[in-house]
Chains A and B, each alone.
Chain A
Amino acid sequence: MSSALAIQNLGIRLGGHQILKDVSAEINEGEFIGIFGPNGAGKTTLLRALLGLCPVSSGEIRIFGQAPGRSNRSIGYMPQSSACPEGTALSARALISAVRGGEKWGVPRPSFSADKEISHALELAGVTNYADRPFSVLSGGEKKRVALAQALIDRPRLLILDEPLASLDPKNQMRLVDRIVKIRNETGATVLFIAHDINPLLGVMDRILYMAGGGAALGTVDEVITGPALSALYGMEIDVVRAGSRIFIVNSESNVTETALHG
């Protein structure tokens, strides 16, 4: 298996703060990686660094053997929120058309090949049924899928999804995860999935990257989500509680649950 993403001794300093220090990870092509950690652990910083939007202070990032460039076409990125103005009738298809080739100069031009590419992305994300309805009237779950379709434009080999499950109910969370697994299987793309809660993704991830205290641990759920491994990362005592098939991470010093740790 060839490497999709190689991070070596990565350190990032922003405004005098050491956000990340000595992070190393080697991710293979086609892997489904869940990225977790409390707020401020550097998840977003890492993501920005992968997109080439944030300077690297030390170490190195290689994506398919290349340095992260600002116009890296092999990355599909799903941002946390879409800026689509409410109250307009702009359809999901029009939104995605604007994204395809959006970095080009000139006026927006529809073309046959563009239409084909857009239809392909819509189909992969499963939004064909409501692609022509105004984006602003779609439900939260439907909007997320449209954002997913945008990330699939240009057939990326690496998908970076920034908290796609945020503000979705459990049923829609499950549907979206299933869809992303299906896309991974069909396209062979590597998936980096940033999430708050580990539980909706149990069973679909190949490995997880857990970030805390400026560092990160990469491994299977059983390797990383253990008391000793997380305690070392956080620098304080952490317990992992399993309730049936669900996992909870508890800070033993202040008795807060994983949700509170994230807050």
Chain B
Amino acid sequence: MADTILNLFSYDFVRNAFVAGSIAAILGAVVGYFVIIRNVGFAAHALAHIGFTGATGAALFALSPLQGMLLISCAAGALMGISGDKLHRSELAVGMVLSFALGVGTLFLALYKGFAGQATSILFGNIFGVSHSQITETILLAVLSLGTLALFSRRLLFASLEPDLAEARGISLTALSTGFMIILAVAVTLASQVVGILLVFTLVIGPAGIAARLCRGFWTAITISIVIAVGAVWLGILLACLTNLPPSFWITGILFLLYIVTELLCRFVLRVER
């Protein structure tokens, strides 16, 4: 058994999957915690779907799907941030934009016949198809967004928990929100490489949501969130290699199981109500 696992690492695509998966997991875990406390889960979900248009339309502009998705979801994130809290927390506004974006995405798909195979990997992730150049891009993007987030995370935490107080202390809520939504767009794009656009929720919201249900402090929550995300991705990739079932299935399955256990714990042991 141990030999089989060690053997796996001699394959380039497995090593790449572990590296890209870990990076996306860490970024998703950290950004996800802010998504939870800011209550913008639906906006996060929408950013991924809007990214689908970018991924399928990328060919029009001679970009890679990753670049196309990054571009359009960052633009959408910035717009959501600038337009203010009311709009990007409005389910109707976000829902309409996200479905229109998906519609345009299907148009691009129809225009480029033969693209359908790639569409599946965009929608459901293709962690074993990550190339060396994509790894470089992934690392660069993750370092850039985590670095930027570190610069203003203290303000963001304050403004997320107590927006009225933060405003009274001279913090611009719109600027913070815009900065955060752009970083969220990057996190969502990277996570979609691992689990796909449709399953981004599992990596960006799942680990952070579970950690937020259990941890009473900011740093413990961030740490636990990272441990859960990285653990789930590693175990998922490993199980996918051993069973030949899709990694996205395993990763979502592991996180769903953890979620159920957490809910039971909260209800019957810790008594943290909904």
* Chain A residues near B (Cβ < 8 Å): 51-53, 69-71, 75, 77, 79-91, 93-95, 97-99, 101-110, 132-134, 136-137, 150
29 interchain pairs, CB-CB under 8 A: A52-B168, A53-B168, A69-B170, A70-B169, A71-B169, A77-B168, A81-B164, A87-B273, A89-B213, A89-B215, A89-B266, A90-B216, A93-B216, A94-B216, A94-B218, A98-B157, A98-B162, A102-B166, A102-B171, A104-B154, A105-B155, A106-B151, A106-B154, A107-B150, A107-B153, A108-B219, A136-B272, A137-B271, A150-B165
Asked whether, in the complex, the Cβ of B154 is within 8 Å of the Cβ of A105, the reply is yes
The closest CB in chain B to the CB of A106 belongs to: B154
- Contact, CB under 8 Å: B219 / A83: no
Q: Tell me the nearest residue of chain B to A84, going by C-beta.
A: B161
Closest chain B residue to A82 by CB distance?
B162
Which A residues are in CB contact (< 8 Å) with B37? Answer: 85, 88, 90
Overall SS of chain A's interface? loop
Which bucket holds chain B's interface residue count? 35 or more
Q: Of all chain A residues, which has the CB nearest B217?
A: A94
Report the tally of A-B residue pairs with Cβ distances under 8 A.
126
Interface residues of B (CB under 8 A from A): 36-37, 39, 150-155, 157-171, 212-219, 221, 266, 270-274
Say whether A108 contacts B170, CB under 8 Å.
no
A87 interface neighbour in B151, B213, B217, B270, Cβ under 8 Å: B213
Residues in B with CB closer than 8 Å to A77 are 164-165, 168
> By the criterion CB–CB under 8 Å, are A102 and B169 in contact?
yes
> Which residues of B lie under 8 Å from residue A91 when comparing CB positions?
216-217
Q: How far is the CA of A168 from the CA of B228 in the complex (A)?
A: 40
Q: How far is the CA of A141 from the CA of B36 in the complex (A)?
A: 25
B158: contacting residue among A70, A88, A99, A132, CB under 8 A? A99
A116 to B162, CA, bound (A): 21
A132 touches B216 (CB 8 A): yes
